[in-house]
Amino acid sequence: MPEATMTHREKAYALLKADAEKILRLIEVQIDNLTMPQCPLYEEVLDTQMYGLSKEIDFAVRLDLISEDEGKALLGNLEKQLNILHEAAQNTV
């Protein structure tokens, strides 16, 4: 695979990973400072952000910048981290 292609693939993955981390931080801030996980606003933000990231990943997969497995792993990892946050917030209530 040409070096330029690898650079684009690596950059695409890094950007998607950064977006996933931004979602995690956004939800952390929301849980810590604004609303509880049972709040409709919390769920709206989470659903919107996750949908947007999944569309970004679908686009990157269609461009062959990341594999479908890499995309699923990114989403799966984010979902696991969000579940941990949600459970921690539930335990402090």
Residue ranges of the domains in the chain? Answer: 3-92
pLDDT for 10 beyond 70: yes
- Would you give the distance in Å from CA 17 to the centre of its chain? 7
Q: Which residues contact 17 (CB under 8 A, 6 or more apart)?
A: 74
CA distance between the termini of the chain:
52
pLDDT at residue 44, as a whole number: 84
pLDDT at residue 38, as a whole number: 65
Pure H helices in 30-67: 40-62
**Identity of the residue numbered 17:** K
pLDDT for 28 beyond 60: yes
Q: How far apart (Å, rounded) are the C-alpha atoms in residues 17 and 23?
A: 10
Prediction pTM value: 0.83
Q: What's 3-92's CATH class? A: mainly alpha
Please give the structure tokens belonging to residue 53. Answer: 């990231």
Confidence of residue 62 (pLDDT cuts 50, 70, 90): very high
Confidence of residue 3 (pLDDT cuts 50, 70, 90): low
